[in-house]
Structure 1
C-alpha cells in the first residue's frame, strides 16, 4: 500500500509543473517579495506622517531585512521537513495580517515592529522557489527556477512603481492595505492550483535542519563564495534604491512618487538578465557570467554618479545595475540548488541570509551617508561594494587556477 502510494507520488512529481502552474508560482513569488520593497519610494511620506527623522527612516528598510533574515534562518528550513503547500498557505494569511498592522500603524514603534514581521513572513518567496524546484522534473528544473526568479525580479522592481502610484492617489497606507488584499486572493488561488505532493518522512529534526545549514556552507567553499557575493551585490543594490527617492523628491527635481516609481521599470532588464544567466549557467558558463556581470555592476555606478547632471545617464546606470545584480543572483542560485537538491529549501534560505544582510547594510548606511555626504557619497559607497565583489571573484579565479595547477602537477609526478 505504502509502496503504491510512493510510486504515485513519484509519478506526480515526474509530471512536473505545467507552464501555467510555473507562471502562477512566479506571480505569487513576485507579489510576496514586493512586500519588502514597497517602502523604498515611500520613506519620506512615512517619515513626515509619523515624525521620523530623515537620518533614521532607513530603519524601516533595515528592520524589514532583519526580519527577512530571521525568517530565512528559522522558517525556510521547515519547508524541507513538512508539506510546503500548507506552509505557503499559513504564511500567506499571516502576511496579510502583518500588512494590515503596518497600514494602520499610528506610531514609529508600531510601524517598525510591523515591518519586521512583514520581512519575517516575506520568506514565503523562498518557500515558493524551493517548492517549484521540488515539483519540477530534473530536465525542467533550471527553466522553472529561472521563470520563478524572473517573477521575483519583476516583483522587486514593479513594487516601487506600484507603491509610488498608489501612494500619490491614496497615501502610503493604501499601498499596504492593497497588498494585504492581494495576498489573501493569492492564497485562495494557490490552494486550488498547486498540486499536492507526498511528504517524505525525514529522520532529522528541525534542530538538525537548522544546524546543517551553517555546517554545509562552511564545508562547501562554492556555497560560501556565492553567499559572500550575494551580500556584496545586494548591499550595492540596496544602497542605490534606498537613497534614490531622497534626491529625486527634493529640488531641483521634486518628482512625484509615481514618477520616481517608474525608475523601477527600467530595472526590469533584471528579469531578462535572470533568464539569460540561468541558461548560461546550465551550459557551464556560470562563473564567467558572474565575472562579466560584476564588471557591469561596477561600471553602472560611474553612470549613476552623473545625477543630478544627466537623468539619461542615470537611467542607463539603473539598467546596468539591475541587469548585473540579477544575473549574478541567478548564477548563484543555480549553483546552490545543484549542489544538494534534496536540501534546496534550507540552502536557498542560508544563501538568502547573505542577501538579507547585504540589503540591510546597504539600506542603513545609504541614508546615513546621504545625510552627511549627499549623492556623491552614495556613489562611492555603492561603487565600493561592487569593487569588493569583483575583487572577491578575481581572487577566487586565481585560487581555482592554482588548485588546478597543483592537481595537475601531482598527477604528473604520479
Structure 2
C-alpha cells in the first residue's frame, strides 16, 4: 500500500504532541474512525439475535449456541491484553489496518461455516483481531485538540455503540433474507473496505520516546495497574457494568424467540435498536467529562443500570417493558464506559494504549463472565433467575462506584467542598 501524501507529513510528528497532529484528524476522519469502531465491535454482536437460528441449523442446543457469545468476548479480551498494547509500540495506522483485515478473515470463516467448530474458529479470529477499535479510541484522544478529547472519544464511541446496535438489527434482517451466514459474508466485505479507507485517510502515528520490546510492553501493564488506583477502580466499574448487561445480551434472543414473544431473527434485531439512544449518552457523558463532571455522569449511569433491570424483569411478558429496560441499560453502560475512559486517559497520556488495554481487558473479562453466568442462570431458572443475576451484579457495581468516589476525593480533597467546584474530580 502506498502512503497518501497528507499522511506523510503527519507521520513525522510524534503522537505525544496532539496539537501538531490535530489538523490531520478532521471531522470526516473522526467519523470514519467511528464507523470502523462500530464495525469492529459490531462484528462480535452479530450472533446475539441469531442464536436460535444457529442452534437450529447447526443442530446444537440453545445453551451451546449462547456460548458463542461468551467465546467472542473471551477472544476479544485476549486481543485486548495481547494486541492493543502494540499501539504504544508500533505505527498505529499500519497496526489498525492489519488487525481489521485479519478480523475480516474471521468473518469470512464464520460466513462459510458448515459446522459449529468452524463457526467457533471464525468467532475467535474475529474477536481477537477486532480489537482494532480499542487502538482507534485512545488514538482519537491523543490526536484531539486540547480540551476536546472527551468530545472526540464520545464521537468515536458513539459510532462504536451505533455499530453494536446496528449489528443486531442488520444481522436479523440479513438472516431473514439469506440465512445467518450471509451476515458474516457481508460484514467481511465491509471490514475490508473500511480498513482500506482508513489506510488512505489516517495520519501515521507512533508513540514518542524510546522504543520498547513486546515483553517490556506487556510487563508494563501490571506496573500501570499498580501505579494508578483509579485505573483499578474504573476497570472494576467497567467490568461489572458490562457483566451485568452481558447477562442480558446472552439470553435476550432466547426469551424473545420463546413462547412469550415468538419473535423471529428480524424482530429480535429490531428490538435491539431500542438501545440506540445509548449513542446520545456517549456524547453527553463525553461532554460532561470535558466539564469535569465524570463522577456525576457515572453515578447517574450506575443508577440507571439498577432501574433497567427492574423494567427487564417486567419484560418477561411485556415487550414494551423489555424495550424500555434494554434502552435504559444501554444508556447506563455507555455512560459508565465513556466516563471511565475519560478518567483513565488522563492518568498517563504517554501510555494510553496500554492503559486502555488494562481497562478493556477487565471490561471484556466482565462481559465474558456475565455471558457465561447468564447462560447458566437461564438454564437454572429462566428469565426470573437471569434478571436476579443481572440486578445483583448492578448492586455490586454501585458498591464499586462508592470505592471509586473515595479514591477521587482522596486525590482531590478540594472536591469534597462544593464551593471548590466540581471540576476537581476527574
**Quick check: TM above 0.5?**
yes
Deviation at residue 99 of structure 1 after TM alignment: 0.9
Question: How far, CA to CA, are the matches of 1:69 and 1:196 in structure 2?
Answer: 26
Residue 396 and residue 333 in structure 1: after superposition, are their counterparts in 2 closer, same or farther (change >3 A)? closer
Q: Which stretch shows the higher mean deviation, 305-314 or 180-189?
A: 305-314
State TM-score, norm by structure 1: 0.92
In the alignment, the residues of structure 2 paired with residue 8 and residue 150 of structure 1 have an alpha-carbon distance, to the nearest angstrom, of 27
Partner of 2:27: 19
Which 4+ residue blocks in structure 1 deviate beyond 6 angstroms?
A: 402-406
Aligned to 1:351: 359
For these two proteins, the number of residue pairs brought into alignment is: 405
- Specify which of 45, 55, 58 is matched with residue 37 of structure 1: 45
Distance in 2 between the 1:265 and 1:197 partners? 35
Does 2:326 correspond to 1:331? Answer: no
Name 2:3's counterpart in structure 1.
Answer: none
* Equivalent residue in structure 1 for 2:183, among 175, 181, 185: 175
- Corresponding residue for 1:412? none
Distance 1:197 1:75 in 2: 17
Counterparts of 1:187-266 in structure 2 under 5 Å?
187-197=195-205, 200=208, 202-266=210-274
Note if contact 2:246-2:371 (Cα within 8 Å) is conserved in structure 1: yes
Shift in alpha-carbon separation, 1:372–1:197, aligned structure 2, 3 A: closer
Matches within 5 A, 1:269-308: 269-308=277-316
CA distance in 2, matches of 1:205, 1:125: 23
- In structure 2, what is the equivalent of residue 377 of structure 1? 385
CA deviation after TM superposition for structure 1 residue 173, in Å: 0.4
Give the CA deviation at 1:24. 0.9
SS at 1:55's partner residue?
helix
Residues 21-64 of structure 1, C-alpha deviations (whole Å, 9 max, x = no match):
11111111111111111111111111111122222222211111
- 1:101 maps to what in 2? 109
For residue 127 of structure 2, what is the aligned residue in structure 1? 119
Distance change >3 Å, CA 304–CA 98, structure 1 → 2: same
Shift of 1:91: 1.2
Map 1:134-145 to 2 at 5 A: 134-145=142-153
- Alpha-carbon distance between aligned partners in 1 of 2:14 and 2:62, rounded to the nearest angstrom: 58
Q: Determine helix, strand or coil for the equivalent of 1:202.
A: coil
Instruction: Describe the shift of the 1:191–1:316 C-alpha distance in structure 2 as closer, same or farther (beyond 3 A).
Output: same
For 1:383, what is the secondary structure of its paired residue?
A: helix
Please report how far the alpha carbon of residue 12 of structure 1 lies from its aligned counterpart in structure 2 after TM superposition: 4.7
Q: 1:200 to 1:61 in 2, by over 3 A?
A: same
Give, in whole Å, the separation in 1 of the partners of 2:244 and 2:189: 32
Aligned to 2:76: 68
Deviations 1:225-277 (A, max 9, x none): 00001111101111112211112112232111111111121101111111111
Change in 2 beyond 3 A, CA 1:379/1:394? same
RMSD: 2.3
Per the TM alignment, residue 201 of structure 1 is displaced from its structure 2 partner at its CA by 5.3
How far residue 181 of structure 1 moved from its aligned partner, in angstroms, is: 0.4
Contact 2:14 2:208 in 1 (8 A): no
- Residue 252 of structure 1: SS of its match in structure 2? coil
Does residue 90 (structure 1) correspond to residue 98 (structure 2)? The answer is: yes
| Selected match of 2:141 from 116, 133, 136 | 133
Q: Which runs of 5+ in 2 are unaligned?
A: 1-9, 417-426
Q: 1:186 is matched with which residue: 174, 194, 203?
A: 194
- Between the aligned partners of 1:121 and 1:156, the Cα distance in structure 2 is 16
Equivalent residues of 1:6, 1:198 under 8 A apart: no
TM-score (norm 2): 0.90
- The answer to whether the 8 Å contact 1:16/1:137 transfers is no
- What is the distance in 1 between the residues matched to 2:218 and 2:406? 33
Q: Does 1:391 align with 2:399?
A: yes
